Chains A and B, each alone.
Chain A
Amino acid sequence: EVQWLESGGGLVQPGGSLRLSCAASGFTFSSYGMSWVRQAPGKGLEWVSTIDRSGAGTYYADSVKGRFTIARDNSKNTLYLHMNSLRAEDTAVYYCAKHGYDILTGSRGHFDYWGQGTLVTVSS
Protein backbone atom coordinates (compact mmCIF):
# COMPACT_ATOMS: atom_id res chain seq x y z
CA GLU A 1 0.00 0.00 0.00
CA VAL A 2 1.35 3.41 -1.00
CA GLN A 3 1.64 5.67 2.04
CA TRP A 4 2.85 9.21 2.54
CA LEU A 5 4.07 11.45 5.31
CA GLU A 6 3.98 15.07 4.22
CA SER A 7 5.42 17.74 6.50
CA GLY A 8 6.92 21.21 6.58
CA GLY A 9 3.89 23.37 5.94
CA GLY A 10 2.91 26.27 8.12
CA LEU A 11 2.65 30.03 8.42
CA VAL A 12 5.48 32.10 6.96
CA GLN A 13 5.93 35.81 6.30
CA PRO A 14 6.23 37.17 2.77
CA GLY A 15 9.80 36.81 1.60
CA GLY A 16 10.39 33.87 3.91
CA SER A 17 11.36 30.27 3.21
CA LEU A 18 10.00 26.82 3.90
CA ARG A 19 10.98 23.27 3.06
CA LEU A 20 8.26 20.71 2.38
CA SER A 21 8.97 17.00 2.73
CA CYS A 22 7.06 14.01 1.42
CA ALA A 23 8.24 10.65 2.73
CA ALA A 24 6.93 7.70 0.75
CA SER A 25 6.54 4.00 1.40
CA GLY A 26 4.89 1.03 -0.27
CA PHE A 27 6.70 1.27 -3.61
CA THR A 28 10.21 1.49 -5.04
CA PHE A 29 10.64 5.24 -4.70
CA SER A 30 13.69 5.50 -6.94
CA SER A 31 11.81 3.97 -9.89
CA TYR A 32 9.28 6.76 -10.32
CA GLY A 33 9.18 10.44 -11.09
CA MET A 34 7.54 12.69 -8.53
CA SER A 35 5.74 16.01 -8.67
CA TRP A 36 4.34 18.77 -6.50
CA VAL A 37 0.87 20.16 -7.23
CA ARG A 38 -0.77 22.96 -5.27
CA GLN A 39 -4.28 24.21 -4.69
CA ALA A 40 -4.99 27.73 -3.45
CA PRO A 41 -8.01 28.08 -1.14
CA GLY A 42 -11.20 27.57 -3.13
CA LYS A 43 -9.29 27.25 -6.40
CA GLY A 44 -8.31 24.52 -8.84
CA LEU A 45 -5.20 22.41 -9.14
CA GLU A 46 -1.90 23.92 -10.31
CA TRP A 47 1.17 21.90 -11.26
CA VAL A 48 4.28 23.25 -9.54
CA SER A 49 7.27 21.04 -10.30
CA THR A 50 8.43 17.58 -11.41
CA ILE A 51 11.62 15.62 -10.79
CA ASP A 52 12.66 12.51 -12.67
CA ARG A 53 13.66 9.19 -11.12
CA SER A 54 17.34 10.01 -10.70
CA GLY A 55 16.85 13.63 -9.70
CA ALA A 56 18.84 14.89 -12.65
CA GLY A 57 15.84 16.24 -14.53
CA THR A 58 13.69 18.96 -12.96
CA TYR A 59 10.87 21.07 -14.34
CA TYR A 60 9.07 24.11 -12.92
CA ALA A 61 6.02 26.25 -13.47
CA ASP A 62 6.93 29.80 -14.48
CA SER A 63 5.20 31.07 -11.33
CA VAL A 64 7.81 29.41 -9.09
CA LYS A 65 10.90 29.19 -11.32
CA GLY A 66 13.94 30.68 -9.64
CA ARG A 67 12.27 30.62 -6.20
CA PHE A 68 11.42 26.94 -5.64
CA THR A 69 13.72 23.92 -5.91
CA ILE A 70 12.53 20.34 -6.12
CA ALA A 71 14.83 17.59 -4.88
CA ARG A 72 14.74 13.97 -3.82
CA ASP A 73 16.75 11.62 -1.62
CA ASN A 74 16.23 8.12 -2.94
CA SER A 75 18.10 6.64 0.04
CA LYS A 76 15.45 8.14 2.33
CA ASN A 77 12.46 7.69 -0.04
CA THR A 78 11.75 11.37 0.37
CA LEU A 79 10.75 14.20 -1.94
CA TYR A 80 11.42 17.84 -1.06
CA LEU A 81 10.31 21.28 -2.15
CA HIS A 82 12.53 24.15 -1.07
CA MET A 83 10.53 27.37 -1.26
CA ASN A 84 12.21 30.78 -1.08
CA SER A 85 11.01 34.37 -1.53
CA LEU A 86 7.49 33.28 -0.68
CA ARG A 87 4.57 35.45 -1.74
CA ALA A 88 0.97 35.68 -0.63
CA GLU A 89 -0.06 34.00 -3.88
CA ASP A 90 1.93 30.89 -2.89
CA THR A 91 -0.62 30.23 -0.14
CA ALA A 92 -2.05 26.80 -0.94
CA VAL A 93 -2.26 23.15 0.00
CA TYR A 94 0.75 21.45 -1.54
CA TYR A 95 0.37 17.84 -2.65
CA CYS A 96 3.13 15.44 -3.62
CA ALA A 97 2.19 13.05 -6.41
CA LYS A 98 3.79 9.85 -7.64
CA HIS A 99 4.13 9.28 -11.34
CA GLY A 100 2.90 6.04 -12.81
CA TYR A 101 4.24 3.88 -15.61
CA ASP A 102 2.16 3.10 -18.68
CA ILE A 103 3.27 -0.37 -19.73
CA LEU A 104 1.65 0.02 -23.13
CA THR A 105 3.55 3.14 -24.16
CA GLY A 106 6.42 3.42 -21.68
CA SER A 107 5.17 6.87 -20.68
CA ARG A 108 5.98 7.96 -17.13
CA GLY A 109 4.17 11.29 -17.17
CA HIS A 110 0.88 10.60 -15.44
CA PHE A 111 0.16 10.72 -11.70
CA ASP A 112 -1.23 7.67 -9.94
CA TYR A 113 -1.01 8.36 -6.21
CA TRP A 114 -1.27 11.60 -4.26
CA GLY A 115 -0.13 12.57 -0.78
CA GLN A 116 -2.59 14.02 1.71
CA GLY A 117 -1.33 17.59 1.30
CA THR A 118 0.28 20.16 3.54
CA LEU A 119 -0.94 23.75 3.96
CA VAL A 120 1.39 26.66 3.36
CA THR A 121 0.15 30.09 4.41
CA VAL A 122 2.15 33.18 3.44
CA SER A 123 0.99 36.15 5.45
CA SER A 124 2.32 38.91 7.67
Chain B
Amino acid sequence: DIQMTQSPSSVSASEGDRVTITCRASQGISNYLAWFQQKPGKAPKSLIYAASSLQSGVPSKFSASGSGTDFTLTISSLQPEDFATYYCQQYNSYPYTFGQGTKLEIK
Protein backbone atom coordinates (compact mmCIF):
# COMPACT_ATOMS: atom_id res chain seq x y z
CA ASP B 1 0.00 0.00 0.00
CA ILE B 2 1.13 3.55 -0.67
CA GLN B 3 1.62 5.54 2.52
CA MET B 4 0.86 9.25 2.51
CA THR B 5 2.61 11.41 5.09
CA GLN B 6 1.58 15.00 5.73
CA SER B 7 3.57 17.66 7.52
CA PRO B 8 3.07 19.39 9.74
CA SER B 9 0.32 17.57 11.68
CA SER B 10 -0.85 20.93 12.94
CA VAL B 11 -0.01 24.55 12.22
CA SER B 12 -1.03 27.84 13.79
CA ALA B 13 -1.38 30.93 11.66
CA SER B 14 -3.01 34.35 11.70
CA GLU B 15 -5.61 35.84 9.41
CA GLY B 16 -3.90 37.16 6.30
CA ASP B 17 -1.00 34.70 6.53
CA ARG B 18 0.01 32.20 3.90
CA VAL B 19 0.59 28.58 4.86
CA THR B 20 2.01 25.58 3.04
CA ILE B 21 1.24 21.96 3.81
CA THR B 22 3.39 19.12 2.49
CA CYS B 23 2.36 15.61 1.49
CA ARG B 24 4.81 12.83 0.67
CA ALA B 25 3.97 9.49 -0.95
CA SER B 26 5.94 6.36 -0.11
CA GLN B 27 6.29 5.66 -3.83
CA GLY B 28 5.71 7.58 -7.03
CA ILE B 29 2.09 8.40 -7.81
CA SER B 30 2.58 10.64 -10.87
CA ASN B 31 0.07 13.47 -10.33
CA TYR B 32 -2.79 11.35 -8.96
CA LEU B 33 -3.05 13.41 -5.82
CA ALA B 34 -6.04 15.23 -4.32
CA TRP B 35 -6.52 17.66 -1.43
CA PHE B 36 -9.59 18.00 0.79
CA GLN B 37 -10.74 20.43 3.45
CA GLN B 38 -12.83 19.27 6.39
CA LYS B 39 -14.46 21.34 9.09
CA PRO B 40 -15.66 19.81 12.39
CA GLY B 41 -18.84 17.80 12.00
CA LYS B 42 -18.94 18.33 8.23
CA ALA B 43 -18.21 16.23 5.18
CA PRO B 44 -14.90 16.74 3.42
CA LYS B 45 -14.83 19.24 0.57
CA SER B 46 -12.77 18.59 -2.53
CA LEU B 47 -10.25 21.33 -3.28
CA ILE B 48 -7.64 20.00 -5.71
CA TYR B 49 -7.27 17.05 -8.07
CA ALA B 50 -4.46 15.95 -10.39
CA ALA B 51 -2.01 17.54 -7.94
CA SER B 52 -2.67 21.10 -9.08
CA SER B 53 -6.12 21.43 -10.69
CA LEU B 54 -8.66 23.46 -8.76
CA GLN B 55 -12.10 21.91 -8.29
CA SER B 56 -14.94 23.97 -9.69
CA GLY B 57 -15.94 26.74 -7.32
CA VAL B 58 -12.78 26.63 -5.20
CA PRO B 59 -11.18 30.05 -4.82
CA SER B 60 -7.77 30.72 -6.33
CA LYS B 61 -6.31 31.39 -2.88
CA PHE B 62 -5.79 27.62 -2.86
CA SER B 63 -2.92 26.42 -4.99
CA ALA B 64 -1.05 23.16 -5.16
CA SER B 65 1.86 21.57 -6.93
CA GLY B 66 4.00 18.48 -7.11
CA SER B 67 4.51 15.24 -8.95
CA GLY B 68 5.97 11.86 -8.16
CA THR B 69 6.33 11.68 -4.39
CA ASP B 70 6.33 15.27 -3.10
CA PHE B 71 3.35 17.61 -3.11
CA THR B 72 2.34 20.89 -1.52
CA LEU B 73 -0.87 22.77 -0.81
CA THR B 74 -0.60 26.53 -0.26
CA ILE B 75 -3.37 28.68 1.15
CA SER B 76 -2.88 32.42 0.85
CA SER B 77 -4.47 35.32 2.69
CA LEU B 78 -6.01 33.15 5.40
CA GLN B 79 -9.57 33.96 6.40
CA PRO B 80 -11.56 32.55 9.34
CA GLU B 81 -13.35 30.06 7.08
CA ASP B 82 -10.01 28.51 6.04
CA PHE B 83 -9.23 27.17 9.50
CA ALA B 84 -9.95 23.47 9.17
CA THR B 85 -8.24 20.12 8.71
CA TYR B 86 -6.67 19.35 5.35
CA TYR B 87 -6.06 15.89 3.90
CA CYS B 88 -4.12 14.68 0.89
CA GLN B 89 -5.09 11.46 -0.88
CA GLN B 90 -3.53 9.35 -3.62
CA TYR B 91 -5.68 7.73 -6.28
CA ASN B 92 -2.85 6.28 -8.33
CA SER B 93 -3.64 2.75 -7.20
CA TYR B 94 -5.89 0.77 -4.88
CA PRO B 95 -6.16 0.89 -1.97
CA TYR B 96 -6.64 4.65 -2.12
CA THR B 97 -4.89 6.17 0.88
CA PHE B 98 -5.11 9.44 2.78
CA GLY B 99 -2.58 11.42 4.72
CA GLN B 100 -3.19 11.69 8.46
CA GLY B 101 -4.41 15.27 8.15
CA THR B 102 -3.07 18.73 8.97
CA LYS B 103 -5.06 20.85 11.38
CA LEU B 104 -4.84 24.55 10.58
CA GLU B 105 -5.57 26.60 13.69
CA ILE B 106 -5.90 30.28 14.40
CA LYS B 107 -2.94 31.78 16.22
Query: Which residues in A have some Cβ–Cβ distance to B below 8 Å?
Result: 35, 37, 44-47, 50, 59, 61-62, 95, 100, 102, 104-105, 107, 109-117
Contacts and interface: CB of A to CB of B under 8 A. Distances in A.
A45 B91 contact: no
A102 B97 contact: no
Given A44-B101, A62-B95, A102 B45 contact: no
A102 B49 contact: yes
Grouping DSSP codes into helix (H, G, I), strand (E, B) and loop, the B interface class, with mixed when no group exceeds half, is: loop
Interface centre among B34, B50, B96, B100 (most CB of A within 10 A): B96
B62 interface: no
Nearest to A65: B95
Contact of A44 (B32, B53, B87): B87
A111 B94 contact: no
Contacts of A62: 95
Given A45-B36, A107-B32, A109-B32, A114 B46 contact: yes
Interface in B10-51: 32, 34, 36, 38, 43-46, 49-50
A73 to B, nearest CB: 22
